[in-house]
């Protein structure tokens, strides 16, 4: 446990100093949000102010992208010399990966707060009370943990940090085929099935419901089920993969 | 458990698919000594180190490190060893001090103790001034020293160094050697791999030569040198009959023989007196030897004399 804390402090410090990655994970969601609100927003009919519709999606994209970079940091450790050193010191895989995930949570929390700030500046309004905000934090945390552990597992498989970086693109594009930017019923019917049932959609619908009061329905339980499922599989898988990668 | 040996391995085998990387490797390293595993690229040096450092499982054979079985008592072994590999295991974006402090915490030191130990290691490795700078600003030699310092924070009994000076310039290498000598004075056991004969010679009490995954020789530097010497006298004989005659009289002393080219190699110290004596001895009448040349002994000569084959194309520099 104390190893995990030490490794977390290390990963957070490394994240903080990796200025390029930090700026990318901040700028990208903000640019996307501005682009969708000001460039595409006028042409998209969602039944409400577009900024109100799109912010939950952008927040999720920000959280997903930030978490996905865990694949890169894990891969850097696995392909460098540090993993051998740590293992020969009997620092377990769980501590190493937990450190990366902790850093991911901190990193993503910071960028999400900033993206929320920008959203309010450009006219996003929320009627969420303290309880709803707590729930928003809970849902985002569950999502970030799930994606971060999945990214950690990907980072263990990737042959290089560059290859691991591919995962961040997959995660970044998932929200496009969801209700993040446009309502699903405007999509061609063959993709609606995917968009409705992929993990990102219930998470977004839950956030949207909590923040702006749209109906949530079964989205919340679906969202949590997805997150819990991804988390469990990823943690178990990364345990096996760490063993195998370092055997 | 044997108290005399820091490392004792018998019959280590390792294969990747059809490729046999190690075959029945046996070795023993006395406590408090420097042991060098000498061999060319791909000989299996790193594999041996990774197995002994509990990072890789051997297919067969067993080994004890610091008195504990590397499989059954892996945790006990890990508590007593350190590994410094070919890639620096330090974080570029942390300062030297932060890297060392992190290692201290991971070896179970309290915060204050980890800080004190880090300062002490920086001092010992002549990095105090650089301690507050990020490692990304360090030179190659400084990085290696920090890496070694990081591996020593937990006061290991047995230190594995996998090619500690590969890629360093002559001055940094010299400095690294001084550091390694300092470790031995402190009483730890050092197990190092190298491709440089000179490095093994400078540092090691005993040297084992590995080639193609097999141990081909073991002994002190002096013992190995006796087989190779510093120079090699290469003679070209006048015809096959002369070749056979000289080859027979030389016996084991011919460290290389090529009947097709009619050449034979004999170890020498390169002095005129010794070369003259050798020529007089093998060719008293002056009829058998057509030409001769002197070559500096290389690591290849060690391998050649021990294994009968070279590791790469032999360069010749006729005198």
Given CB atoms, is B279 within the 8 Å cutoff of chain A?
no
Q: Which of B89, B100, B107, B155 to mutate to test the interface with A (most CBs of A within 10 A)?
A: B89
Q: Which of A14, A20, A89, A161 to mutate to test the interface with B (most CBs of B within 10 A)?
A: A89
Cα–Cα distance measured from residue B82 to residue B67, given in angstroms and rounded to the nearest whole number: 15
CATH code of B5-222, in short, is 3.40.50.300
Structural contact between residues B172 and B140, judged by C-beta atoms closer than 8 angstroms: yes
Residue of A nearest to B110 (CA): A2
Quote the ipTM score: 0.85
pLDDT digits 0-9 by tens, A94-122: 999 999 999 999 999 998 999 999 999 99
Given CB atoms, is B50 within the 8 Å cutoff of chain A?
yes
Q: Is A239 helix (H, G, I), strand (E, B) or coil?
A: helix
Query: A169: buried, middle or exposed (CB in 10 Å: 19+, 13-18, 0-12)?
Result: exposed
Query: A48: buried, middle or exposed (CB in 10 Å: 19+, 13-18, 0-12)?
Result: exposed
Asked if A90 lies within 8 A of B82 by C-beta distance, the reply is no
Given CB atoms, is B91 within the 8 Å cutoff of chain A?
yes
Question: What class, spelled out in words, does domain B229-307 have in CATH?
Answer: alpha beta
Asked if B106 lies within 8 A of A91 by C-beta distance, the reply is yes
Give the nearest partner residue to A247 out of B57, B86, B87, using CB atoms: B57
Give residue B147's pLDDT: 93
Structural contact between residues A148 and A70, judged by C-beta atoms closer than 8 angstroms: yes
Given CB atoms, is B135 within the 8 Å cutoff of chain A?
no
Which tokens is B115 given?
A: 């800080």
Cα–Cα distance measured from residue A80 to residue B256, given in angstroms and rounded to the nearest whole number: 41
The pLDDT profile of chain B, 319 residues, written as one tens digit per residue, is: 456 899 999 999 999 888 899 999 999 999 999 999 998 888 899 999 999 999 899 999 999 999 999 999 999 999 999 999 887 889 999 999 999 999 999 999 999 999 999 999 999 898 999 999 999 999 988 999 999 999 999 899 999 999 988 888 888 889 889 988 888 887 799 999 998 888 888 899 999 999 889 998 888 887 777 666 567 888 999 989 999 999 888 887 887 788 888 999 888 888 889 899 989 998 888 889 999 998 876 656 666 667 655 544 333 333 3
Domain boundaries, chain A: 2-245
CA atoms within 13 A on the CB side of A239: 6
Pairing of strands B189-194, B81-84: unpaired
Distance to chain B for A29, nearest Cα, Å: 25
Which tokens is B248 given?
A: 């027979």
Given CB atoms, is B75 within the 8 Å cutoff of chain A?
yes
pLDDT digits 0-9 by tens, B40-54: 888 899 999 999 999
Count of A–B CB contacts within 8 Å?
Answer: 69
Asked if A81 lies within 8 A of B86 by C-beta distance, the reply is yes
Q: Is B92 helix (H, G, I), strand (E, B) or coil?
A: coil
Asked if A89 lies within 8 A of B82 by C-beta distance, the reply is yes
Give residue B315's pLDDT: 34
Cα–Cα distance measured from residue A37 to residue A53, given in angstroms and rounded to the nearest whole number: 10
């Amino acid at each position: 446990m104390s190893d995990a804390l030490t490794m977390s402090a290390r990963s957070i410090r490394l994240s903080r100093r990796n200025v390029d990655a930090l700026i990318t994970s901040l700028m990208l969601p903000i640019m996307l949000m501005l682009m969708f609100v000001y460039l595409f927003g006028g042409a998209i009919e969602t039944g409400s102010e577009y900024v109100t519709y799109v912010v939950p999606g952008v927040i999720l994209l920000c959280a997903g992208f930030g978490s996905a970079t865990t694949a890169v940091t894990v891969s850097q450790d696995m392909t460098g010399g540090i993993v051998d050193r740590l293992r020969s010191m009997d620092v377990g895989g769980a501590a190493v990966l937990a450190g990366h995930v902790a850093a991911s949570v901190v990193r993503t929390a910071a960028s999400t707060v900033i993206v929320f700030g920008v959203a309010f500046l450009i006219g996003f309004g929320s009627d969420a009370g303290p309880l709803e905000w707590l729930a928003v934090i809970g849902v985002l945390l569950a999502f970030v943990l799930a994606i971060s552990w999945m990214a950690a597992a990907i980072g263990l498989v990737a042959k290089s940090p560059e290859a691991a970086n591919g995962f961040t693109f997959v995660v970044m594009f998932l929200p496009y085929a969801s209700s993040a930017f446009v309502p699903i019923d405007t999509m061609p019917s063959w993709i609606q099935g995917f968009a409705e049932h992929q993990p990102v959609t219930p998470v977004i619908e839950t956030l949207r419901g909590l923040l702006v009061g749209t109906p949530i329905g079964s989205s919340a339980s679906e969202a949590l089920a997805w997150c819990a499922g991804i988390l469990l599989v990823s943690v178990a898988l990364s345990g096996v993969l760490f063993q195998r990668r370092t055997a | 458990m044997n108290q005399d040996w820091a490392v004792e391995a018998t019959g280590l085998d390792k294969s990747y698919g059809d490729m046999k990387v190690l075959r029945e490797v046996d070795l023993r390293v006395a406590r408090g000594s420097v042991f060098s595993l000498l061999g060319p690229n791909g000989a299996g040096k790193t594999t041996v180190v990774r197995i002994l450092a509990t990072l890789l499982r051997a297919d067969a054979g067993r080994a004890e490190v610091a008195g504990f079985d590397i499989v059954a008592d892996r945790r006990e072994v890990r508590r007593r060893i350190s590994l410094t590999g070919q890639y620096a295991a330090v974080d570029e974006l942390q300062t030297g001090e932060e890297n060392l402090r992190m290692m201290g915490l991971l070896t179970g030191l309290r915060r204050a103790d980890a800080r004190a130990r880090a300062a002490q290691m920086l001092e010992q490795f002549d990095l105090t001034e650089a301690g507050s700078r990020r490692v990304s600003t360090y030179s190659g030699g400084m990085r290696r020293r920090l890496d070694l310092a990081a591996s020593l924070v937990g006061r290991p009994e047995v230190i594995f160094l996998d090619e500690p000076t590969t890629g360093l310039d002559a001055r940094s290498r010299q400095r690294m050697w001084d550091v390694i000598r300092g470790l031995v004075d402190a009483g730890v056991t050092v197990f190092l791999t190298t491709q440089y004969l000179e490095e093994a010679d400078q540092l090691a009490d005993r040297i084992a030569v590995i080639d193609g995954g097999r141990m081909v020789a073991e002994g002190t530097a002096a013992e190995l040198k006796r087989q190779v010497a510093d120079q090699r006298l290469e003679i070209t004989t006048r015809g096959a009959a002369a070749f056979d005659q000289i080859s027979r009289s030389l016996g084991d002393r011919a460290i290389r023989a090529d009947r097709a080219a009619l050449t034979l190699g004999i170890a020498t110290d390169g002095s005129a007196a010794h070369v003259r004596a050798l020529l007089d001895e093998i060719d008293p009448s002056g009829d058998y030897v057509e030409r001769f040349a002197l070559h500096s002994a290389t690591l290849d000569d060690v391998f050649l004399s021990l294994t009968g084959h070279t590791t790469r194309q032999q360069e010749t520099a006729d005198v």
